[in-house]
């Protein structure tokens, strides 16, 4: 099944090209703050699953008529593995690898959805790069999870862009700007995706193919990433793990259109626009 967020915190099932509303179900209503309906839906999925299967038999709305948001807006954390493909390490001339350096975090406030734009900070002369990544969505709470048990903790998968300001400043700060974590278009349940270790990932800018990788080349595979993260932090339903980007990263600039696609997971097309803020005492001067 595929689950989306839309129209101000609503959650729904995406069935074909139609979105069916789930936000009438008790516990996942949309007029709440923070917008955490999808977190509760995932946590109590066993309770909601039958309703989600039945709702596709009721009228819905065309996906083109709704404003798709990030399917999750307020996860407890977004864990991100840095260099997790050898070819990306080589292109960055970096000796770092995910199996030696572990993970970092991105703030939930950086999340945007497939209908939103990537807003570049006003920092002349600096490069902002695209990084397409398979996103894991955690399904249940866990700590010290063995790799063999990791699949049972995974709810599904989605597409994620880890937008990055290149430079020498603290990595988390360079990757933390608002809109620097496009996520979507839907969370596709793990049963529908199948083996996460053989998914092609492609990203193009203005129609030019820039990244063309496959998760078979991950250094730390999906189960090992879940296990390693859970040795440090308790994982909660809705936590996102960004699994690293394949080779081919490069700059984006205002006016660009970024198309990304992952086999069996989905695709998004995002525009890039110039923002007027973002420079500060550390980056770009104040």
Query: Which positions touch Mn ion (CB under 5 A)?
Result: 131, 162, 245
Give exposure, 255-283, as e/b (b: 16+ Cβ within 10 Å): ebebbbbbbebbebebebeebeeeeeeeb
Residue with Cβ nearer Mn ion (230 or 245)? 245
- Minimum separation from the CB atom of position 113 to Mn ion (A): 19
Cα separation, 40 vs 36, whole angstroms: 7
* Closer residue to Mn ion (CB): 19 or 181: 181
Question: Minimum Å distance from CB 94 to Mn ion?
Answer: 12
Query: In the bound complex, which residue of the shown chain has the CB atom lying closest to Mn ion?
Result: 162
Nearer to Mn ion, 22 or 160 (CB): 160
The pair of structure tokens assigned to 45 is 């999925």
Q: Of 179 and 245, which has the nearer Cβ to Mn ion?
A: 245
> Cβ 210 to Mn ion, closest distance in Å?
14
Nearest approach, Cβ of residue 16 and Mn ion (Å): 32
CB of 132 to Mn ion, least distance (A): 9
**Would you say 21 or 162 has its CB closer to Mn ion?**
162
Cβ closest to Mn ion, residue 131 vs residue 239: 131
CB of residue 80 vs Mn ion: minimum separation in angstroms?
6
């Amino acid at each position: 099944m595929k689950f989306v967020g839309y129209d101000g915190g609503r959650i729904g099932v995406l069935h074909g090209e139609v979105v069916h509303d789930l936000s009438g179900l008790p516990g996942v209503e949309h007029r709440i703050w923070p917008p955490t309906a999808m977190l509760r839906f995932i946590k109590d999925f066993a309770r909601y699953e039958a309703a989600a299967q039945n709702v596709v038999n009721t009228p819905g709305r065309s996906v083109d008529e709704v404003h798709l948001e990030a399917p999750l807006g307020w996860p407890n954390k977004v864990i991100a593995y840095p260099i997790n493909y050898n070819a990306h390490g080589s292109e960055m001339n970096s000796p770092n690898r995910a199996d030696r350096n572990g993970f970092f975090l991105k703030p939930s406030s950086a999340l945007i959805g497939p209908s939103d734009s990537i807003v570049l900070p006003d920092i002349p002369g600096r490069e902002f790069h695209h990084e397409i990544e398979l996103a894991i969505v955690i399904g249940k709470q866990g700590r010290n999870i063995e790799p063999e048990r990791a699949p049972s903790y995974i709810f599904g998968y989605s597409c994620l862009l880890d937008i990055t300001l290149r430079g020498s400043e603290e990595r988390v700060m360079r990757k933390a700007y608002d809109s620097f974590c496009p996520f979507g278009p839907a969370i596709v349940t793990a049963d529908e995706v199948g083996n996460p270790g053989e998914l092609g990932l492609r990203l193009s800018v203005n129609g030019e193919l820039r990244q063309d990788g496959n998760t078979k080349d991950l250094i730390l595979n999906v189960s090992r990433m879940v296990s390693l993260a859970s040795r440090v932090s308790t994982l909660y339903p809705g936590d996102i793990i960004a699994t690293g980007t394949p080779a081919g990263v490069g700059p984006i600039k205002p006016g660009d259109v970024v198309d990304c696609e992952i086999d069996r997971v989905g695709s998004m097309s995002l525009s890039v626009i110039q923002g007027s803020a973002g420079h500060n005492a550390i980056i770009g001067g104040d």
